[in-house]
Structure 1
Amino acid sequence: MSSINRADFRFIEELVEFIRGRGYVLDLSDATFSEFFADELNVDIDDPIYAVNGGSKGKRLRTFLSTVDDDAAARALKALWDHRVQFLASTGNSDPVHNAEGRYLTLVGKLANGTSSGTGEPPRPAHDRAKIEALRSELYELRDLEPQRRGYAFESFLQRIFAEAGLAPRQPFRNVGEQIDGSFVLDNEVYLLEAKWTRSEIGVADLRAFHGKLEKAAWTRGVFISYDGFTEVGLAAFGPARRMFCVEGRDIYEGLDRQIPWVEILRAKFRHAAETGEPFVPLAKLFP
Protein backbone atom coordinates (compact mmCIF):
# COMPACT_ATOMS: atom_id res chain seq x y z
CA MET A 1 0.00 0.00 0.00
CA SER A 2 1.04 3.64 -0.32
CA SER A 3 2.98 5.67 2.24
CA ILE A 4 0.12 8.18 2.66
CA ASN A 5 -0.73 8.60 6.36
CA ARG A 6 -3.66 10.16 8.22
CA ALA A 7 -2.18 13.65 8.23
CA ASP A 8 -1.59 13.37 4.48
CA PHE A 9 -5.19 12.34 3.92
CA ARG A 10 -6.43 15.34 5.93
CA PHE A 11 -4.40 17.57 3.61
CA ILE A 12 -5.72 15.76 0.51
CA GLU A 13 -9.26 16.33 1.76
CA GLU A 14 -8.47 20.04 2.07
CA LEU A 15 -7.26 20.05 -1.51
CA VAL A 16 -10.28 18.32 -3.06
CA GLU A 17 -13.26 19.21 -0.85
CA PHE A 18 -13.15 23.02 -0.87
CA ILE A 19 -15.47 23.36 -3.88
CA ARG A 20 -18.45 21.14 -3.05
CA GLY A 21 -17.83 19.86 0.47
CA ARG A 22 -17.09 16.61 2.23
CA GLY A 23 -17.26 13.46 0.14
CA TYR A 24 -16.78 15.34 -3.13
CA VAL A 25 -13.66 15.60 -5.29
CA LEU A 26 -13.11 19.05 -6.74
CA ASP A 27 -15.82 20.00 -9.25
CA LEU A 28 -16.17 16.45 -10.61
CA SER A 29 -19.60 14.86 -10.90
CA ASP A 30 -20.08 11.09 -10.65
CA ALA A 31 -19.76 10.79 -14.43
CA THR A 32 -16.80 13.14 -14.85
CA PHE A 33 -15.03 11.58 -11.87
CA SER A 34 -15.15 8.21 -13.64
CA GLU A 35 -14.09 9.78 -16.94
CA PHE A 36 -11.25 11.64 -15.26
CA PHE A 37 -9.73 8.45 -13.81
CA ALA A 38 -10.24 6.56 -17.06
CA ASP A 39 -8.83 9.25 -19.36
CA GLU A 40 -6.01 10.56 -17.18
CA LEU A 41 -4.92 7.39 -15.40
CA ASN A 42 -6.54 4.44 -17.21
CA VAL A 43 -8.17 3.45 -13.92
CA ASP A 44 -11.68 2.09 -13.40
CA ILE A 45 -12.51 4.01 -10.22
CA ASP A 46 -16.01 2.49 -10.35
CA ASP A 47 -14.58 -0.98 -9.64
CA PRO A 48 -16.22 -2.31 -6.44
CA ILE A 49 -12.80 -2.71 -4.82
CA TYR A 50 -12.64 1.07 -4.36
CA ALA A 51 -16.12 1.27 -2.79
CA VAL A 52 -15.50 -1.10 0.12
CA ASN A 53 -15.37 1.86 2.53
CA GLY A 54 -18.22 3.80 0.90
CA GLY A 55 -19.34 4.82 -2.55
CA SER A 56 -18.84 8.58 -2.42
CA LYS A 57 -16.19 10.05 -4.66
CA GLY A 58 -14.11 11.09 -1.66
CA LYS A 59 -14.18 7.63 -0.08
CA ARG A 60 -13.37 5.90 -3.36
CA LEU A 61 -10.44 8.26 -3.87
CA ARG A 62 -9.15 7.58 -0.35
CA THR A 63 -9.46 3.81 -0.81
CA PHE A 64 -7.68 4.00 -4.15
CA LEU A 65 -4.81 6.05 -2.71
CA SER A 66 -4.57 3.68 0.27
CA THR A 67 -4.37 0.47 -1.73
CA VAL A 68 -2.10 1.31 -4.66
CA ASP A 69 1.66 1.76 -4.49
CA ASP A 70 3.44 5.11 -4.10
CA ASP A 71 4.02 5.58 -7.84
CA ALA A 72 0.35 5.13 -8.72
CA ALA A 73 -0.73 7.35 -5.81
CA ALA A 74 1.68 10.08 -6.93
CA ARG A 75 0.37 9.94 -10.51
CA ALA A 76 -3.20 10.29 -9.29
CA LEU A 77 -2.35 13.22 -7.04
CA LYS A 78 -0.51 14.96 -9.87
CA ALA A 79 -3.50 14.57 -12.20
CA LEU A 80 -5.85 15.91 -9.51
CA TRP A 81 -3.49 18.79 -8.75
CA ASP A 82 -3.33 19.78 -12.44
CA HIS A 83 -7.14 19.71 -12.65
CA ARG A 84 -7.35 21.78 -9.47
CA VAL A 85 -4.93 24.39 -10.83
CA GLN A 86 -6.98 24.68 -14.02
CA PHE A 87 -10.18 25.08 -12.02
CA LEU A 88 -8.75 27.88 -9.87
CA ALA A 89 -7.37 29.62 -12.94
CA SER A 90 -10.75 29.47 -14.68
CA THR A 91 -12.54 31.00 -11.70
CA GLY A 92 -9.91 33.63 -10.94
CA ASN A 93 -10.05 32.72 -7.25
CA SER A 94 -7.02 32.48 -4.98
CA ASP A 95 -6.16 29.13 -3.42
CA PRO A 96 -8.17 28.73 -0.18
CA VAL A 97 -5.74 26.15 1.23
CA HIS A 98 -2.76 27.55 3.11
CA ASN A 99 0.57 26.83 1.37
CA ALA A 100 -1.19 24.28 -0.84
CA GLU A 101 1.52 24.00 -3.49
CA GLY A 102 4.38 23.63 -1.03
CA ARG A 103 2.55 20.99 0.98
CA TYR A 104 1.52 19.16 -2.21
CA LEU A 105 5.12 19.08 -3.48
CA THR A 106 6.29 17.79 -0.09
CA LEU A 107 3.75 14.96 -0.20
CA VAL A 108 4.64 13.98 -3.77
CA GLY A 109 8.31 14.11 -2.86
CA LYS A 110 7.68 11.75 0.05
CA LEU A 111 5.90 9.31 -2.27
CA ALA A 112 8.80 9.50 -4.73
CA ASN A 113 11.13 8.39 -1.92
CA GLY A 114 8.70 5.97 -0.29
CA THR A 115 9.47 2.41 0.66
CA SER A 116 6.23 0.81 -0.52
CA SER A 117 6.55 1.39 -4.28
CA GLY A 118 5.55 -1.76 -6.10
CA THR A 119 3.95 -3.44 -3.10
CA GLY A 120 0.41 -2.11 -3.41
CA GLU A 121 -2.52 -3.40 -5.40
CA PRO A 122 -2.22 -2.59 -9.12
CA PRO A 123 -4.85 -0.05 -10.23
CA ARG A 124 -7.90 -1.60 -11.87
CA PRO A 125 -7.59 -0.70 -15.58
CA ALA A 126 -10.33 1.23 -17.27
CA HIS A 127 -9.93 -0.75 -20.48
CA ASP A 128 -11.15 -4.30 -20.96
CA ARG A 129 -8.06 -6.03 -22.30
CA ALA A 130 -9.99 -9.11 -23.43
CA LYS A 131 -12.36 -6.95 -25.45
CA ILE A 132 -9.47 -4.98 -26.92
CA GLU A 133 -7.71 -8.17 -27.96
CA ALA A 134 -10.93 -9.48 -29.51
CA LEU A 135 -11.29 -6.29 -31.55
CA ARG A 136 -7.67 -6.50 -32.66
CA SER A 137 -8.09 -10.12 -33.74
CA GLU A 138 -11.31 -9.29 -35.59
CA LEU A 139 -9.64 -6.47 -37.50
CA TYR A 140 -6.76 -8.80 -38.43
CA GLU A 141 -9.16 -11.51 -39.66
CA LEU A 142 -11.03 -9.10 -41.94
CA ARG A 143 -8.09 -9.22 -44.33
CA ASP A 144 -9.09 -12.70 -45.53
CA LEU A 145 -12.63 -11.72 -46.60
CA GLU A 146 -13.54 -11.07 -50.22
CA PRO A 147 -13.63 -7.32 -51.06
CA GLN A 148 -17.36 -6.56 -50.82
CA ARG A 149 -17.87 -8.50 -47.58
CA ARG A 150 -14.68 -7.00 -46.21
CA GLY A 151 -15.92 -3.46 -46.84
CA TYR A 152 -19.20 -4.01 -45.02
CA ALA A 153 -17.47 -5.87 -42.21
CA PHE A 154 -14.98 -3.02 -41.81
CA GLU A 155 -17.83 -0.50 -41.51
CA SER A 156 -19.49 -2.72 -38.89
CA PHE A 157 -16.21 -3.03 -36.99
CA LEU A 158 -15.79 0.76 -36.94
CA GLN A 159 -19.35 1.19 -35.70
CA ARG A 160 -18.48 -0.95 -32.67
CA ILE A 161 -15.26 0.98 -32.04
CA PHE A 162 -17.19 4.26 -32.05
CA ALA A 163 -19.98 2.81 -29.90
CA GLU A 164 -17.49 1.47 -27.33
CA ALA A 165 -16.03 4.99 -27.13
CA GLY A 166 -19.47 6.50 -26.44
CA LEU A 167 -19.50 8.51 -29.67
CA ALA A 168 -23.14 7.79 -30.66
CA PRO A 169 -22.38 6.35 -34.12
CA ARG A 170 -25.04 6.30 -36.80
CA GLN A 171 -25.31 3.59 -39.42
CA PRO A 172 -24.53 4.33 -43.08
CA PHE A 173 -27.11 6.54 -44.78
CA ARG A 174 -27.74 8.42 -48.00
CA ASN A 175 -27.48 12.19 -48.18
CA VAL A 176 -28.68 13.90 -51.37
CA GLY A 177 -28.22 10.64 -53.25
CA GLU A 178 -24.71 9.99 -51.94
CA GLN A 179 -23.64 7.17 -49.67
CA ILE A 180 -22.25 8.22 -46.29
CA ASP A 181 -20.52 5.52 -44.28
CA GLY A 182 -21.91 6.82 -41.00
CA SER A 183 -21.53 9.63 -38.51
CA PHE A 184 -20.61 10.14 -34.87
CA VAL A 185 -20.50 12.87 -32.24
CA LEU A 186 -17.19 13.98 -30.74
CA ASP A 187 -17.13 16.81 -28.18
CA ASN A 188 -20.62 17.90 -29.24
CA GLU A 189 -19.61 18.15 -32.92
CA VAL A 190 -21.07 15.92 -35.65
CA TYR A 191 -18.55 14.19 -37.91
CA LEU A 192 -19.34 12.32 -41.11
CA LEU A 193 -17.37 9.15 -41.71
CA GLU A 194 -15.81 7.74 -44.86
CA ALA A 195 -14.30 4.27 -44.52
CA LYS A 196 -12.43 2.36 -47.23
CA TRP A 197 -10.51 -0.89 -47.42
CA THR A 198 -9.21 -0.99 -50.98
CA ARG A 199 -5.93 -2.97 -50.80
CA SER A 200 -4.25 0.24 -52.01
CA GLU A 201 -3.53 3.68 -50.58
CA ILE A 202 -6.11 6.40 -51.02
CA GLY A 203 -5.27 9.22 -53.43
CA VAL A 204 -6.41 12.76 -53.96
CA ALA A 205 -9.57 11.86 -55.95
CA ASP A 206 -11.19 10.04 -53.00
CA LEU A 207 -10.09 12.74 -50.54
CA ARG A 208 -11.63 15.48 -52.66
CA ALA A 209 -14.81 13.46 -53.24
CA PHE A 210 -15.38 13.07 -49.50
CA HIS A 211 -14.56 16.71 -48.85
CA GLY A 212 -17.19 17.62 -51.46
CA LYS A 213 -19.79 15.77 -49.38
CA LEU A 214 -18.76 17.74 -46.30
CA GLU A 215 -19.12 21.06 -48.11
CA LYS A 216 -22.83 20.43 -48.60
CA ALA A 217 -23.39 21.02 -44.87
CA ALA A 218 -21.68 24.14 -43.53
CA TRP A 219 -21.48 22.78 -39.98
CA THR A 220 -20.12 19.30 -40.70
CA ARG A 221 -16.65 17.92 -40.17
CA GLY A 222 -15.38 14.58 -41.36
CA VAL A 223 -12.99 11.69 -40.79
CA PHE A 224 -11.62 9.59 -43.64
CA ILE A 225 -10.50 6.13 -42.48
CA SER A 226 -8.46 4.13 -44.98
CA TYR A 227 -7.21 0.74 -43.87
CA ASP A 228 -4.29 0.89 -46.30
CA GLY A 229 -3.44 4.52 -45.68
CA PHE A 230 -2.98 7.45 -48.04
CA THR A 231 -0.50 8.30 -50.77
CA GLU A 232 1.94 11.11 -50.02
CA VAL A 233 1.19 12.57 -53.45
CA GLY A 234 -2.56 12.49 -52.76
CA LEU A 235 -2.22 14.18 -49.37
CA ALA A 236 0.05 16.85 -50.87
CA ALA A 237 -2.31 17.49 -53.78
CA PHE A 238 -5.31 17.67 -51.44
CA GLY A 239 -3.61 20.49 -49.60
CA PRO A 240 -4.17 21.87 -46.10
CA ALA A 241 -6.78 20.20 -43.89
CA ARG A 242 -9.96 22.20 -44.00
CA ARG A 243 -12.84 20.18 -42.65
CA MET A 244 -11.47 16.68 -42.26
CA PHE A 245 -8.63 14.57 -40.94
CA CYS A 246 -7.46 11.07 -41.79
CA VAL A 247 -6.91 7.77 -40.00
CA GLU A 248 -5.20 4.66 -41.36
CA GLY A 249 -5.48 1.03 -40.36
CA ARG A 250 -2.11 1.08 -38.63
CA ASP A 251 -3.42 3.81 -36.32
CA ILE A 252 -6.24 1.51 -35.22
CA TYR A 253 -3.91 -1.45 -34.64
CA GLU A 254 -1.43 0.62 -32.64
CA GLY A 255 -4.20 2.27 -30.63
CA LEU A 256 -5.57 -1.13 -29.65
CA ASP A 257 -2.11 -2.54 -28.92
CA ARG A 258 -1.19 0.41 -26.69
CA GLN A 259 -4.70 0.77 -25.19
CA ILE A 260 -4.94 4.40 -26.23
CA PRO A 261 -8.61 5.45 -25.98
CA TRP A 262 -10.22 5.90 -29.39
CA VAL A 263 -11.60 9.27 -28.31
CA GLU A 264 -8.10 10.52 -27.49
CA ILE A 265 -6.77 9.34 -30.86
CA LEU A 266 -9.49 11.28 -32.68
CA ARG A 267 -8.96 14.39 -30.54
CA ALA A 268 -5.22 14.32 -31.14
CA LYS A 269 -5.72 13.85 -34.89
CA PHE A 270 -8.19 16.73 -35.06
CA ARG A 271 -5.96 19.05 -33.03
CA HIS A 272 -2.94 18.28 -35.20
CA ALA A 273 -4.93 19.01 -38.36
CA ALA A 274 -6.27 22.26 -36.89
CA GLU A 275 -2.84 23.44 -35.75
CA THR A 276 -0.72 22.36 -38.73
CA GLY A 277 -3.08 22.07 -41.68
CA GLU A 278 -1.89 18.49 -42.24
CA PRO A 279 -4.86 16.17 -42.84
CA PHE A 280 -2.90 13.07 -41.80
CA VAL A 281 -0.25 12.27 -39.21
CA PRO A 282 0.60 8.73 -37.99
CA LEU A 283 -0.51 7.84 -34.49
CA ALA A 284 3.10 7.03 -33.58
CA LYS A 285 4.02 10.70 -33.95
CA LEU A 286 1.10 11.88 -31.81
CA PHE A 287 1.77 9.34 -29.06
CA PRO A 288 5.54 8.65 -29.23
Structure 2
Amino acid sequence: MPNIRSIDMLFLDDVFAMSGGYVLNFSDRTMSQFFTEELNCDIDDLAYAVNGRSKGKRLRCFLQSVDIPTVVRALNALWEYREAVRARDQQAETVENAEGRLLALINRLEGNPESAKPAGQAPAPAFDRPRLIQLKADLLALHQLAPQARGYAFEKLLCDIFNAYGLEAREPFRLRGEQIDGSFQLLNETYLFEAKWQGEQTGVADLHTFHGKLEQKAAWTRGLFISNSGFTEDGIVAFGRGKRVICMDGLDLHDTMHREIPLNHVLDRKVRRAAETGAPFSRVRDLFPQ
Protein backbone atom coordinates (compact mmCIF):
# COMPACT_ATOMS: atom_id res chain seq x y z
CA MET A 1 0.00 0.00 0.00
CA PRO A 2 1.41 3.47 -0.85
CA ASN A 3 2.55 5.70 2.00
CA ILE A 4 0.32 8.55 0.90
CA ARG A 5 -3.22 8.44 -0.49
CA SER A 6 -3.99 9.97 -3.87
CA ILE A 7 -6.13 12.67 -2.26
CA ASP A 8 -3.24 13.59 0.05
CA MET A 9 -0.86 13.73 -2.91
CA LEU A 10 -3.16 16.29 -4.54
CA PHE A 11 -2.78 18.41 -1.41
CA LEU A 12 1.02 18.00 -1.47
CA ASP A 13 1.03 18.99 -5.14
CA ASP A 14 -0.54 22.31 -4.12
CA VAL A 15 1.59 22.88 -1.02
CA PHE A 16 4.93 22.18 -2.69
CA ALA A 17 4.00 23.65 -6.10
CA MET A 18 4.54 20.33 -7.90
CA SER A 19 2.36 20.98 -10.94
CA GLY A 20 4.13 20.87 -14.29
CA GLY A 21 6.92 18.73 -12.88
CA TYR A 22 8.33 21.43 -10.61
CA VAL A 23 8.95 21.42 -6.83
CA LEU A 24 8.87 24.82 -5.13
CA ASN A 25 11.66 26.96 -6.61
CA PHE A 26 14.21 24.13 -6.89
CA SER A 27 16.36 23.55 -9.91
CA ASP A 28 17.60 20.00 -10.51
CA ARG A 29 20.90 20.95 -8.88
CA THR A 30 19.45 22.69 -5.81
CA MET A 31 16.89 19.92 -5.23
CA SER A 32 19.65 17.31 -5.33
CA GLN A 33 21.69 19.42 -2.90
CA PHE A 34 18.69 19.90 -0.59
CA PHE A 35 17.95 16.16 -0.31
CA THR A 36 21.62 15.39 0.23
CA GLU A 37 22.04 17.97 3.01
CA GLU A 38 18.69 17.57 4.76
CA LEU A 39 18.01 13.85 4.37
CA ASN A 40 21.25 12.26 3.20
CA CYS A 41 19.27 10.88 0.24
CA ASP A 42 20.03 10.77 -3.48
CA ILE A 43 16.84 12.08 -5.09
CA ASP A 44 18.51 11.54 -8.50
CA ASP A 45 18.58 7.76 -7.96
CA LEU A 46 16.93 6.05 -10.93
CA ALA A 47 14.69 4.18 -8.47
CA TYR A 48 12.69 7.42 -8.09
CA ALA A 49 12.48 8.09 -11.84
CA VAL A 50 10.27 5.14 -12.81
CA ASN A 51 7.39 7.51 -13.69
CA GLY A 52 9.57 10.21 -15.21
CA ARG A 53 12.60 12.34 -14.42
CA SER A 54 10.92 15.67 -13.63
CA LYS A 55 11.42 16.98 -10.11
CA GLY A 56 7.74 16.57 -9.25
CA LYS A 57 7.54 12.98 -10.50
CA ARG A 58 10.73 12.00 -8.68
CA LEU A 59 9.47 13.53 -5.42
CA ARG A 60 6.10 11.76 -5.70
CA CYS A 61 7.85 8.43 -6.31
CA PHE A 62 10.26 9.08 -3.44
CA LEU A 63 7.40 9.78 -1.00
CA GLN A 64 5.63 6.58 -2.05
CA SER A 65 8.77 4.42 -1.94
CA VAL A 66 10.82 5.19 1.16
CA ASP A 67 10.04 4.28 4.78
CA ILE A 68 7.55 6.39 6.71
CA PRO A 69 10.08 8.07 9.07
CA THR A 70 11.95 9.32 5.99
CA VAL A 71 8.69 10.54 4.44
CA VAL A 72 7.94 12.50 7.62
CA ARG A 73 11.45 14.00 7.71
CA ALA A 74 11.14 14.95 4.04
CA LEU A 75 7.76 16.64 4.51
CA ASN A 76 9.01 18.58 7.54
CA ALA A 77 12.17 19.68 5.72
CA LEU A 78 10.26 20.72 2.59
CA TRP A 79 7.76 22.66 4.70
CA GLU A 80 10.53 24.49 6.56
CA TYR A 81 12.16 25.42 3.26
CA ARG A 82 8.82 26.51 1.76
CA GLU A 83 8.08 28.78 4.72
CA ALA A 84 11.57 30.30 4.67
CA VAL A 85 11.16 31.19 0.99
CA ARG A 86 7.63 32.49 1.56
CA ALA A 87 8.79 34.72 4.43
CA ARG A 88 11.76 36.02 2.43
CA ASP A 89 9.62 36.86 -0.59
CA GLN A 90 6.66 38.08 1.51
CA GLN A 91 4.29 35.72 -0.28
CA ALA A 92 0.72 35.24 0.94
CA GLU A 93 -0.45 31.72 1.80
CA THR A 94 -2.33 30.25 -1.17
CA VAL A 95 -3.37 26.87 0.29
CA GLU A 96 -6.17 26.95 2.85
CA ASN A 97 -5.11 25.65 6.29
CA ALA A 98 -1.88 24.34 4.75
CA GLU A 99 0.12 23.70 7.93
CA GLY A 100 -2.77 22.15 9.85
CA ARG A 101 -3.51 19.74 7.00
CA LEU A 102 0.15 18.83 6.61
CA LEU A 103 0.49 18.09 10.34
CA ALA A 104 -2.70 15.99 10.20
CA LEU A 105 -1.16 13.98 7.36
CA ILE A 106 2.04 13.50 9.39
CA ASN A 107 -0.08 12.37 12.36
CA ARG A 108 -1.71 9.74 10.18
CA LEU A 109 1.61 8.58 8.75
CA GLU A 110 3.05 8.22 12.26
CA GLY A 111 0.05 6.20 13.41
CA ASN A 112 1.87 2.90 12.77
CA PRO A 113 -0.64 1.49 10.26
CA GLU A 114 1.54 -1.59 9.87
CA SER A 115 1.10 -2.60 13.51
CA ALA A 116 -0.60 -5.93 14.02
CA LYS A 117 -4.34 -5.73 14.70
CA PRO A 118 -6.78 -8.44 15.71
CA ALA A 119 -8.42 -9.99 12.66
CA GLY A 120 -11.39 -7.99 11.45
CA GLN A 121 -10.65 -4.90 13.57
CA ALA A 122 -10.42 -1.64 11.64
CA PRO A 123 -7.57 0.69 12.63
CA ALA A 124 -8.55 3.80 14.57
CA PRO A 125 -8.35 6.93 12.41
CA ALA A 126 -5.56 9.37 13.29
CA PHE A 127 -7.68 12.33 12.21
CA ASP A 128 -11.43 12.05 12.75
CA ARG A 129 -12.92 15.21 11.25
CA PRO A 130 -16.57 14.51 12.23
CA ARG A 131 -15.51 13.97 15.84
CA LEU A 132 -13.49 17.19 15.84
CA ILE A 133 -16.42 19.14 14.38
CA GLN A 134 -18.59 17.81 17.21
CA LEU A 135 -15.97 18.70 19.84
CA LYS A 136 -15.78 22.24 18.47
CA ALA A 137 -19.58 22.51 18.71
CA ASP A 138 -19.45 21.17 22.28
CA LEU A 139 -16.88 23.84 23.17
CA LEU A 140 -19.15 26.60 21.87
CA ALA A 141 -22.12 25.08 23.74
CA LEU A 142 -20.33 25.50 27.10
CA HIS A 143 -21.15 29.21 26.99
CA GLN A 144 -24.82 28.31 27.62
CA LEU A 145 -24.17 26.42 30.89
CA ALA A 146 -24.31 27.73 34.43
CA PRO A 147 -20.85 28.66 35.82
CA GLN A 148 -20.31 25.63 38.08
CA ALA A 149 -21.62 23.12 35.54
CA ARG A 150 -19.53 24.82 32.87
CA GLY A 151 -16.31 24.28 34.83
CA TYR A 152 -16.86 20.53 35.18
CA ALA A 153 -17.99 20.21 31.56
CA PHE A 154 -14.88 22.10 30.42
CA GLU A 155 -12.60 19.62 32.21
CA LYS A 156 -14.40 16.65 30.65
CA LEU A 157 -14.40 18.21 27.18
CA LEU A 158 -10.65 18.83 27.40
CA CYS A 159 -10.11 15.14 28.16
CA ASP A 160 -12.19 14.27 25.09
CA ILE A 161 -10.13 16.67 22.96
CA PHE A 162 -6.85 15.23 24.27
CA ASN A 163 -8.04 11.70 23.53
CA ALA A 164 -9.08 12.70 20.00
CA TYR A 165 -5.37 13.21 19.36
CA GLY A 166 -4.19 10.08 21.17
CA LEU A 167 -2.87 11.90 24.26
CA GLU A 168 -4.23 9.31 26.73
CA ALA A 169 -6.06 11.76 28.98
CA ARG A 170 -7.07 10.92 32.52
CA GLU A 171 -10.08 12.71 34.02
CA PRO A 172 -9.99 14.76 37.28
CA PHE A 173 -8.71 12.98 40.36
CA ARG A 174 -8.16 13.96 43.97
CA LEU A 175 -5.06 13.49 46.04
CA ARG A 176 -4.89 14.21 49.74
CA GLY A 177 -5.42 17.94 50.11
CA GLU A 178 -5.54 18.82 46.40
CA GLN A 179 -7.59 18.47 43.25
CA ILE A 180 -5.99 17.64 39.87
CA ASP A 181 -8.12 18.51 36.85
CA GLY A 182 -6.56 15.78 34.73
CA SER A 183 -3.44 14.49 33.03
CA PHE A 184 -2.27 13.40 29.58
CA GLN A 185 0.76 12.02 27.75
CA LEU A 186 2.75 14.00 25.18
CA LEU A 187 5.82 12.42 23.55
CA ASN A 188 6.14 9.98 26.48
CA GLU A 189 6.07 12.83 29.02
CA THR A 190 3.32 13.10 31.67
CA TYR A 191 1.53 16.44 31.98
CA LEU A 192 -0.96 17.50 34.63
CA PHE A 193 -3.41 20.12 33.52
CA GLU A 194 -5.43 22.84 35.21
CA ALA A 195 -8.60 24.09 33.53
CA LYS A 196 -10.21 27.46 34.34
CA TRP A 197 -13.42 28.84 32.90
CA GLN A 198 -14.20 32.11 34.63
CA GLY A 199 -15.13 35.67 33.74
CA GLU A 200 -11.84 37.29 34.64
CA GLN A 201 -8.42 36.50 33.25
CA THR A 202 -6.15 34.22 35.24
CA GLY A 203 -3.50 35.96 37.31
CA VAL A 204 -0.20 35.03 38.89
CA ALA A 205 -1.69 33.51 42.08
CA ASP A 206 -3.43 30.67 40.22
CA LEU A 207 -0.32 30.04 38.13
CA HIS A 208 1.87 29.79 41.22
CA THR A 209 -0.65 27.49 42.93
CA PHE A 210 -0.62 25.11 39.98
CA HIS A 211 3.17 25.20 39.75
CA GLY A 212 3.29 24.35 43.45
CA LYS A 213 1.30 21.18 42.76
CA LEU A 214 3.85 20.16 40.12
CA GLU A 215 6.75 20.71 42.51
CA GLN A 216 5.23 18.11 44.86
CA LYS A 217 5.29 15.47 42.10
CA ALA A 218 8.11 13.63 40.34
CA ALA A 219 10.81 15.89 38.91
CA TRP A 220 9.85 15.03 35.32
CA THR A 221 6.19 16.06 35.72
CA ARG A 222 5.12 19.01 33.56
CA GLY A 223 1.97 21.11 33.47
CA LEU A 224 -0.50 22.71 31.07
CA PHE A 225 -2.68 25.57 32.38
CA ILE A 226 -5.73 26.21 30.20
CA SER A 227 -7.65 29.40 30.96
CA ASN A 228 -10.57 30.06 28.64
CA SER A 229 -10.57 33.78 29.44
CA GLY A 230 -6.80 34.09 29.06
CA PHE A 231 -4.08 35.39 31.35
CA THR A 232 -3.28 38.86 32.62
CA GLU A 233 -0.14 40.31 31.09
CA ASP A 234 1.15 41.23 34.56
CA GLY A 235 0.42 37.71 35.78
CA ILE A 236 2.46 36.08 33.01
CA VAL A 237 5.36 38.48 33.67
CA ALA A 238 5.21 37.97 37.45
CA PHE A 239 5.02 34.19 37.05
CA GLY A 240 8.43 34.40 35.42
CA ARG A 241 10.47 32.19 33.13
CA GLY A 242 11.94 28.74 33.37
CA LYS A 243 8.88 27.11 34.95
CA ARG A 244 7.48 23.62 34.28
CA VAL A 245 4.19 25.04 32.97
CA ILE A 246 2.97 25.99 29.50
CA CYS A 247 -0.21 28.00 29.02
CA MET A 248 -3.13 27.95 26.62
CA ASP A 249 -6.20 30.19 26.41
CA GLY A 250 -9.61 29.98 24.78
CA LEU A 251 -8.43 31.70 21.61
CA ASP A 252 -5.67 29.08 21.30
CA LEU A 253 -8.25 26.30 21.60
CA HIS A 254 -10.49 27.94 19.01
CA ASP A 255 -7.63 28.46 16.55
CA THR A 256 -6.40 24.89 17.05
CA MET A 257 -9.78 23.38 16.29
CA HIS A 258 -10.95 25.86 13.67
CA ARG A 259 -7.73 25.53 11.67
CA GLU A 260 -7.61 21.75 12.29
CA ILE A 261 -4.07 21.89 13.65
CA PRO A 262 -3.40 18.63 15.54
CA LEU A 263 -3.32 19.41 19.26
CA ASN A 264 -0.23 17.29 19.87
CA HIS A 265 1.71 19.48 17.43
CA VAL A 266 0.38 22.66 19.08
CA LEU A 267 1.51 21.52 22.51
CA ASP A 268 4.85 20.26 21.23
CA ARG A 269 5.54 23.64 19.64
CA LYS A 270 4.52 25.46 22.83
CA VAL A 271 6.94 23.27 24.79
CA ARG A 272 9.74 23.97 22.33
CA ARG A 273 9.12 27.74 22.43
CA ALA A 274 9.10 27.65 26.24
CA ALA A 275 12.38 25.71 26.22
CA GLU A 276 13.93 28.22 23.81
CA THR A 277 12.68 31.42 25.48
CA GLY A 278 11.60 30.47 28.99
CA ALA A 279 8.21 32.09 28.35
CA PRO A 280 5.25 29.92 29.46
CA PHE A 281 2.68 31.40 27.06
CA SER A 282 2.98 31.65 23.29
CA ARG A 283 -0.11 32.07 21.14
CA VAL A 284 -1.07 29.52 18.50
CA ARG A 285 -1.35 32.37 16.00
CA ASP A 286 2.30 33.22 16.59
CA LEU A 287 3.48 29.60 16.56
CA PHE A 288 1.52 28.76 13.39
CA PRO A 289 1.41 32.02 11.38
CA GLN A 290 -0.79 32.04 8.31
**What TM-score, normalized by structure 1, do the two folds share?**
0.63
Where 1:256 maps in the other structure, the secondary structure is helix
1:255 aligns with 2:256: yes
Report deviation, 1:268.
1.0
Partner of 2:281: 280
RMSD over aligned CA atoms reads: 4.0
Where 2:13 maps in the other structure, the secondary structure is helix
Q: How do residues 70-149 of structure 1 correspond to structure 2 at under 5 angstroms? A: 71-72=13-14, 89=40, 95=42, 98=45, 106-108=54-56, 127-149=127-149
Q: How do residues 158-237 of structure 1 correspond to structure 2 at under 5 angstroms? A: 158-217=158-217, 218-237=219-238
Report the residue type matching 2:193 in the other structure. Answer: L
Partner of 1:15: none
Report deviation, 1:70.
7.8
Where 1:198 maps in the other structure, the secondary structure is coil
Cα pair distance change 1:65/1:212, threshold 3 Å? closer
Where 1:157 maps in the other structure, the secondary structure is helix
Write out per-residue CA displacement over residues 252-279 of structure 1, whole angstroms, 9 at most, x where no aligned residue.
1111111100111111111111111111
Report deviation, 1:171.
1.3
Unaligned residue ranges in structure 2 (runs of 5+): 24-31, 60-101, 106-125
Alignment partners' CA distance in 2, 1:133 and 1:66:
20
Report deviation, 1:96.
9.7
Cα pair distance change 1:208/1:86, threshold 3 Å? farther
In our comparison, the structure showing a higher alpha carbon Rg is: 1
Alignment partners' CA distance in 2, 1:282 and 1:70:
27
Alignment partners' CA distance in 1, 2:231 and 2:8:
48
Partner of 1:21: none
Report deviation, 1:87.
8.9
Report deviation, 1:282.
1.2
Report the residue type matching 1:278 in the other structure. Answer: A
Alignment partners' CA distance in 1, 2:175 and 2:53:
56
Where 1:160 maps in the other structure, the secondary structure is helix
Report deviation, 1:106.
3.8
Aligned residue pair count: 214
**What TM-score, normalized by structure 2, do the two folds share?**
0.63
Report deviation, 1:242.
1.5
Please tell me whether the aligned partners of residues 74 and 108 of structure 1 are also in contact (alpha carbons under 8 angstroms). no
Partner of 1:243: 244
Cα pair distance change 1:233/1:96, threshold 3 Å? closer
